[in-house]
Amino acid sequence: MARIYQVLGSVCLALGWVVMINLAGCSHTVNKAHPAVMDESTKDVAKIYFIRSDIRHSGATERPVQVLADDIPLVNLDKGTYALVYMNPGDKVISVKSHTQSGAEEKVVEVDETKLFHFKKGRSYYILLKAFYRGYRWGTSYRPKAIDHAVALRKAGPLHPTGDARHQPLRIQ
C-alpha cells in the first residue's frame, strides 16, 4: 500500500511541474538582446503589449508566431497569449511571421505581414496580431494592428499574460 502512495505522489509531483511550466509561459520568449528592448526602469520607454487572441484557429496557424521589430526577432507568442515589451521610442517596422496551410495540397508555408508604427516615450501601445484570411491559395496570416486600451482589455480577457505582462497584466486604467 505504501508503494502505491509513493507512485501516486511521484505522478502528482510530475503533473504539478508540467502545469507550472505551462502556466509560467515558458513557450514564449522575448529577445532581451534586441537593440530596441529597454529595461522597465528606464524613464524614456514605450510599453508595447503584443496580443495574440486567435483562440479559435487550428492547424498550422496554431504554431507560435514570431514578432520582429526592424527585421530582428523580438518576441514569440503562442496561441492565446499576450506579452509586454519595453522599447525605445521612435519608428519601428513591426513584422509578424507565421505558418499557414495553402492551396489544394494544404502545404505548410511561412507568411509574414508588416506595418510601420511610431512609439512615443511614456505611452502604452496595444498591438493585436489579427488573424487575416488571405484566400484559399494563400491561407491565413497575422497582421499587426494598433488598438485602443478598451479593445485590448476585451481581447486579452481570456488570454494568458506571459513574461513581463504577468507582472503588469492589462487592467482597467
Q: How confident is the model at residue 7 (pLDDT cuts 50, 70, 90)?
A: very low
d(CA 69, CA 88): 11
Which comes out higher in pLDDT, residue 145 or 140? 145
Q: In this predicted model, what pLDDT tens digit does every residue of 88-141 receive, in sequence order? A: 999 999 999 988 877 667 778 788 899 999 999 999 999 999 888 777 667 788
**Single-letter amino acid code for the residue at 139:** G
Average pLDDT in the chain:
80
For residue 152 the three cell numbers come to: 485590448
Q: CA-CA distances (angstroms) from residue 47 to 61, 107, 115, 165? A: 27, 37, 18, 10
Burial 74-96 (b: 16+ CB within 10 A, else e): bbbbbbebbbbbbbebeebebbb
Q: How confident is the model at residue 64 (pLDDT cuts 50, 70, 90)?
A: confident
Which comes out higher in pLDDT, residue 119 or 162? 119
**Single-letter amino acid code for the residue at 152:** A
Nearest Cα to 172, choosing from 146, 154, 145? 154
Q: Is the pTM of this model over 0.95?
A: no
